[in-house]
Amino acid sequence: MSSSTPRPRWRRRLAIAVLVAGAAAAALLIAAHAWVSEAGAYVRTAADLSPRTAVIVPGARVYPSGEPSLPLADRLDCAVDLYRAGVVRRVLVSGDHGQAAYDEPNAMRRYLLARGVADADIFLDHAGFRTLDTMARAARVFGVRDAVVCTQAFHLERAVFLARRAGIDAVGVAADRHAYPSATFDLVRERLAVARAAVDAVLGVGPRLLGPEIPIGGDPAPSRDAASAVGAAHR
């Protein structure tokens, strides 16, 4: 006769439940990555691009000084190169400006202006709180129908996936021009972000904010701060 005490039944049930939940989560991650990675078919090199109406630059960290972080600067340099080469006519910068003290879009605009992009060709999206918002608003607020997306390789498939889900004929170009200290963290976070993107797509989740239409082929003046203040105030 064994001297060991049998494990309580509830513990066995809990262990089984944890295993089942873990297996389900793993299956979700695998399925989500398989679905989102299909957008890899639309990733290009700059040399392989055909002309597009706009380049979309998703936001990233901006320092208190107003300087873009290294990944964001690389995204913007990618856009500048495409603009100078005549591949795109307009630049849509989209980032977080939900608080007056933190302003990604205007930092991006200043960076582009300093590198010769005409102000008349720069559109600002002040409610690009996450990639889904950026792409949905590009389609529904700015009327973008075809675009190049410039972002880092780890983020590119998800960004293109969300752009195409929003109805944009989008292709992507990797903006990696440096080694990034946060690369490992970014890869881990991206796995979870991909799962969320897939779930959002299934549920039909929309952007946090919309607003008046500002056609990408028209005047960018309405995309300046005065027009965005109402949206930011209702965040």
CB 219 within 8 A of CB 124: no
Structure-token match 């969320």, residue found: 196
At residue 129, the pLDDT reads 96
Q: What pTM, to 2 d.p., does this model score?
A: 0.85
pLDDT tens for the 235 residues of the chain, in order: 455 555 577 766 766 666 665 566 666 767 777 888 888 899 999 999 999 999 999 999 999 999 999 999 999 999 999 999 999 999 999 999 988 889 999 999 999 999 999 999 999 999 999 999 999 999 999 999 999 999 999 999 999 999 999 999 999 999 999 999 988 988 889 988 998 898 899 899 999 999 999 999 999 999 997 444 434 433 3
The set of residues, in sequence order, having a beta carbon less than 8 Å from that of 165 and lying 6+ positions away, is 135, 201
| Token pair belonging to 234 | 């209702």
Angstrom distance (rounded) from CA 71 to CA 104: 13
C-alpha distances (whole Å) from 45 to each of 29, 49, 55, 162, 173 are 28, 7, 14, 19, 6
- Superfamily in which the 37-233 domain is placed by CATH: HUPs (3.40.50.620)
Centroid of chain to Cα 135: 7
| Token pair belonging to 124 | 């600002």
Angstrom distance (rounded) from CA 152 to CA 160: 12
At residue 31, the pLDDT reads 72
At residue 37, the pLDDT reads 83
At residue 228, the pLDDT reads 42
Helix 70-84 vs helix 104-114: angle between axes, to the nearest 10 degrees? 50
Residue 29 identity: L
* Domains in the chain: boundaries: 37-233
At residue 227, the pLDDT reads 43
Angstrom distance (rounded) from CA 214 to CA 222: 7
Task: Give one word for 89, left, alpha or beta, with left for phi > 0 and alpha for psi -120 to 50.
Answer: alpha
Give the helix/strand (H/E) hosting 157.
helix 153-165
Query: Secondary structure of 176-223 in the HEC alphabet?
Result: CCCCCCCHHHHHHHHHHHHHHHHHHHHHCCCCCCCCCCCCCCCCCHHH
52: helix, coil or strand? Answer: strand
At residue 191, the pLDDT reads 87
At residue 14, the pLDDT reads 66
* Strand order through the sheet with 43-44: 43-44, 169-174, 146-151, 52-58, 88-94, 122-125
